[in-house]
Chain A
Amino acid sequence: MGNFVSAGKEFGSMNRHTLEENIFKGLMIFSMMIVLGSLSLILLTIFMKGLPAISLKMLLQTPQGGYYIGKEGGILNAIVGSLVLAGAATLLAFVISLPIALYLNLYLKKNSKFAYSIRFLFDVLYGIPAIVYGAFGFSVMVFFHLRASLLAGILTIALLIIPIMARSMDEVLKMIPFELKEASVAIGATRWETATKVILKQALPGITTAILIAFGRGIGDAAAVLFTTGFTDSLPTSLFQPVATLPLAIFFQLATPFPDVQARGYASAFVLTVLILFISLISRILSSRFTRNIVK
């Protein structure tokens, strides 16, 4: 009989559809190649330009006089400055974001209007450009007659990354099955106890990732620190002094007309990229490590 077999061959429209599908499939793969290609291109250019210019001296020294016009020194000030700034800001953000995320998921009803508004608010805050945070931070500083400082930078960056962290943590906590929370409360634990003893263990991989992502964002941002931290050639010594950051160091080095200073800029870019790649890698490893122990 062959009803079904022959039917396929006679239908012209079927062939038109397959052609359309194949065209689109081709376009899709092409698009993906471009996206992945851009990523590889970025990493490739940074590595190719930055690796040759880098030296151990550069990593371990602070700029001596005239560094930006070609003299001796290194970017240690920027490396340490960035790590301290981002680290402190992440810590501050963590202390604020985690309670908020816990509150949203444990104490409020899932569909309560308040939870809805808070989540919405954080998403909107997430979309505010870094430069606006910087400008705002700057206004506050001017208002209080404060100068550019590490502390101002920490506060501004913390402000910038709190929406990111809170949102990621919220997503993670949201995914925890309600039954787990139920089971804990059912045996008489208070919600706070449920939070710390049960939920957090389960959410550990996701929370770690959230922290690391926020840290990566905080360390890489230039627009928010531009106004608030200033720049300096020395290592961070006090909260109330300006501090150097890698993104700004890169920016300033590249802005000079001297090719060897620019080369150092590329090297600094290389350092920052490696740092961020390292953080991504760690967060993936930790995340899969922790995932082994959780309830599925």
Chain B
Amino acid sequence: MDIKTHISVKDLNVWYGEQKVLNHIDIDIPDKKITAILGPSGCGKTTLLKCLNRLIELQDGIKVSGQVLVDGENILDPNVEVTHLRKKLGLLLQRPQVLPMSIYDNVAYGPRIHGIKNKKALDEIVEKYLKQANLWTEVKGRLNSSASRLSIGQQQRLCLARTLAIEPEVILGDETTSALDPVSAQQIEQRFLELKNQYTIVLVTHNLRQAKRLADYVVFLYLGDLIEHGPATEFFKNPKYFKTQAYIEGRFIEDFKVDQELILNDTKNPDESFLKVKSVLKNFQVNQILRLVVSDEKVLQRISQGVETQGGSVLEVKRFGPSEWELFVQKQNVSYAI
């Protein structure tokens, strides 16, 4: 299966004042698929989403490092024309924010900002996207009435139409159905499923079931760390890491109680490093946890693959430096031979 990447996040770090809210995030968001960003509240999901269209910089005290590549171009570069970027990536917020104007003007707002003045063209745009958001039939007779009179479900669909009207390539959604009643929520979810053939969609949600329904690709964040990411089917059926499993099953996620640490910063030799790990594991009892720090990707790979054969399992892999990784390995069974 050939998965084309639309947005590539490379070593993204975000600080909010003194506090670090996102640590070394590396993800590739696939083109024309629905990607869900999952995780409990306050773990950095919205921050990550808002980095993609640089809306995060509106808040005071935000510092960002790393790269976000959209179609290969780093959009965090200060020379980038931000308004142009935001035309390419549309954002839908949790609470529907209707602009203080008529329904027509709400949808036409984006196109007008970007230069379209012709009334006929605007009429067509308004109709087309209201239809795409499945709102046209309900409002076509009152396009000039104030948008604030709509029900909350209708308002969210209006916001969707408004976002679609700027003809983006990517649609970002931040808990877009959390504030809606079940019927309206379902309508919005339907729209996303229909739209994914034309747009790349990235949805932040804390609703596991919604993610299961909609997502093709899943990214799991916990406390600012990227724990796991992958195709949805694999993610939900065979989660690789401990915290992911805990989250999916609804268990409390606790920090690991580390029994021993092994810092392998200086070795670039995969086999040598692995031998060291092996000897530690041999002397471990079952369920004891080893924390490893490595600074080479090959070493990382060798160790991850190798411990399985030694009766260990990798609980978590976390990147915490430009080239530093943290591994948590737990001994599960008595090890096999050499």
Q: Which residues of B contact A1 (CB under 8 A)?
A: 71-73
Check A7 against B84 for contact (C-beta < 8 Å). Answer: yes
Check B115 against A4 for contact (C-beta < 8 Å). Answer: no
Check B72 against A4 for contact (C-beta < 8 Å). Answer: no
With an 8 A cutoff between CB atoms, is A8 at the interface?
yes
Check A13 against B115 for contact (C-beta < 8 Å). Answer: yes
Alpha-carbon distance between A7 and B85 when the two chains are bound, in angstroms: 10
Check B71 against A5 for contact (C-beta < 8 Å). Answer: no
Question: 0/1 per residue, A1-43, Cβ < 8 Å to B?
Answer: 1111101100101100000000000000000000000000000
Q: Which residues of B contact A3 (CB under 8 A)?
A: 71, 73, 84
Check A5 against B115 for contact (C-beta < 8 Å). Answer: no
Q: Which of B41-49, B74-82, B295-303 is found at the contact surface with chain A?
A: B74-82
With an 8 A cutoff between CB atoms, is B83 at the interface?
yes
Q: Which residues of A contact B73 (CB under 8 A)?
A: 1-5
Q: Which residues of A contact B115 (CB under 8 A)?
A: 13
Beta-carbon nearest neighbor of A4 in chain B: B80
B109 CB, min distance to chain A CBs, angstroms: 15
Count of inter-chain pairs, beta carbons less than 8 A = 28
Alpha-carbon distance between A148 and B277 when the two chains are bound, in angstroms: 98
Alpha-carbon distance between A5 and B77 when the two chains are bound, in angstroms: 9
Beta-carbon nearest neighbor of B84 in chain A: A7
Alpha-carbon distance between A2 and B84 when the two chains are bound, in angstroms: 12
Check B80 against A5 for contact (C-beta < 8 Å). Answer: yes
Q: Which residues of A contact B83 (CB under 8 A)?
A: 14
Beta-carbon nearest neighbor of B77 in chain A: A5
Interface residues of B in 43-87 (CB under 8 A from A): 71-73, 75, 77, 79-81, 83-85
Alpha-carbon distance between A35 and B38 when the two chains are bound, in angstroms: 51
Beta-carbon nearest neighbor of B85 in chain A: A4
B71 CB, min distance to chain A CBs, angstroms: 7
Check A8 against B81 for contact (C-beta < 8 Å). Answer: yes
Question: 0/1 per residue, A69-111, Cβ < 8 Å to B?
Answer: 0000000000000000000000000000000000000000000
B38 CB, min distance to chain A CBs, angstroms: 29
Alpha-carbon distance between A78 and B79 when the two chains are bound, in angstroms: 66
Which of B71, B72, B81 is within 8 Å of A7, CB to CB?
A: B81
Q: Which residues of B contact A8 (CB under 8 A)?
A: 79-81, 84
Alpha-carbon distance between A3 and B79 when the two chains are bound, in angstroms: 11
Q: Which residues of B contact A4 (CB under 8 A)?
A: 73, 75, 80-81, 84-85
Q: Which residues of B contact A5 (CB under 8 A)?
A: 73, 77, 79-81
Alpha-carbon distance between A94 and B282 when the two chains are bound, in angstroms: 79
Please indicate which of the listed interface residues B81, B83, B85 has the most CB atoms of chain A within 10 Å of its own CB: B81
Alpha-carbon distance between A14 and B115 when the two chains are bound, in angstroms: 10
B36 CB, min distance to chain A CBs, angstroms: 26
Alpha-carbon distance between A8 and B73 when the two chains are bound, in angstroms: 15
A2 CB, min distance to chain B CBs, angstroms: 7
Question: 0/1 per residue, B112-123, Cβ < 8 Å to A?
Answer: 000100000000
Q: Which residues of B contact A13 (CB under 8 A)?
A: 115
Beta-carbon nearest neighbor of A8 in chain B: B81
Q: Which residues of A contact B81 (CB under 8 A)?
A: 4-5, 7-8, 11, 14
Interchain residue pairs A-B with the least CB separation, the first 6: A8-B81, A4-B80, A7-B84, A5-B79, A1-B73, A7-B81
**Chain B positions near chain A (C-beta within 8 angstroms):** 71-73, 75, 77, 79-81, 83-85, 115
**Beyond A4-B81, A5-B77, 10 additional pairs, beta carbon < 8 A:** A1-B73, A3-B84, A4-B73, A4-B75, A4-B80, A5-B80, A7-B81, A8-B79, A8-B84, A11-B81
